[in-house]
Amino acid sequence: MHVVTLALLLGIVLAAPAGADDVDERIPVAPGGLLEVDVDLGEGLRPDPGFLEVTSHDADEVRVVVDASGWGASGVRFELEESPRGVRVYGRVRGALAWMFGGPNIQVRIWVPESYSLDLRTSAGPIRVEDVRGSIRARAATGGVEVNETEGSLRVRAGDDVRITEVVGAVDAKVEDGAIELAWITGDVDARSSWGEIVAEHVRGGLTVQTDRGDIELKEIDGPIQARTERGAIFASYAGPPSGHIETQRGDVRVLVPEDGGAALVAISHRGGVALAPDLEFGGRAEESRAVGAMNGGGGDLRLVTARGTVHVDER
């Protein structure tokens, strides 16, 4: 097994933060492998602990570039090794002075073949991934995650904001405390935030979104929608046949359907009203706070509910 130990060895300078030399190491690989990255930066207080960035290049190799600077950089250790499936990269911060004045800034840049899978974990700082074809897992304990132009299943766990664009494949995104932004996704999506708004547009596939507190805005969705927020408004615009279950406990629900888009509609406001656009063809029972029946000739089930607010349904 080929092992390269990347040691950023520095003298401790009491009058100024320590610095680090750049590290640039490469391992030849075949396309279709797996990159595993585990970067544990400890419990530092630095507002800019660094980042982990992975993108593709034309070479059949994994290239790792690490730059560490600031107080505690002398305690940074990285290890790069071959694995049965590809390459593993480990990063740690050690030493009694590692987190003096907040700890080091560690910037990790990795290049992989275009066809390569990723399993990424970092304890601090954001993760960025771009232009990769393969399954991806990305976990940022306290930072955000940004993924662009990928093809393959995507699983994200983050402590802060998540932004995912131009993905072909199923998406599973969970955020502890932050917003989720999705755009141009082809595949089923499951996105959930404990606290933050969710925005999705141009999604082709089933869409499931949930936030405990925050607005939900869904545009140009071609597939069934399951959307729920405890506190916030929900806007949904369908690009295909409307169906699903959209519900908020406190806020308005506004849904736009394609012209002649049909559904078996159930719209309920427990403390508010239901407003159907006059140009909608509706065959059923419509009251001030409830409408149940066939919309535009009927179709899939579409259930719209708010506990406190108004339900609006209109054509695009």
pLDDT digits over 141-151, tens only?
Answer: 889 999 999 99
DSSP helix/strand/coil, 316: coil
Q: What is the DSSP string of 16-52?
A: S------EEEEEE--TT-EEEEEEE--S---S--EEE
- Both tokens of residue 305? 């509910």
| HSE, side-chain direction, 13 A CA sphere, residue 108 | 32
Q: Tell me what pLDDT residue 8 has.
A: 35
Strands 76-82 and 253-257: unpaired
Q: Is the pLDDT of residue 21 over 90?
A: no
Confidence band for 55, pLDDT divided at 50, 70 and 90: very high
Quote the DSSP letter at residue 259. T
Q: Tell me what pLDDT residue 43 has.
A: 62
- Residue 121 vs residues 155, 158, 257: alpha-carbon distances, Å: 12, 10, 40
Q: Is the pLDDT of residue 48 over 90?
A: no
pTM assigned to the model: 0.89
In this structure, are residues 223 and 241 in contact, taking their beta carbons and an 8 Å threshold?
Answer: no
Find all residues with CB under 8 Å of 39, minimum gap 6, and list them. Answer: 52, 89, 90, 91, 106, 108, 121, 122, 123
As a whole number of angstroms, the distance between CA 292 and CA 280 comes to 13
Q: Tell me what pLDDT residue 20 has.
A: 44
- For the stretch 292-315, pLDDT in tens is 999 999 999 999 999 999 999 999
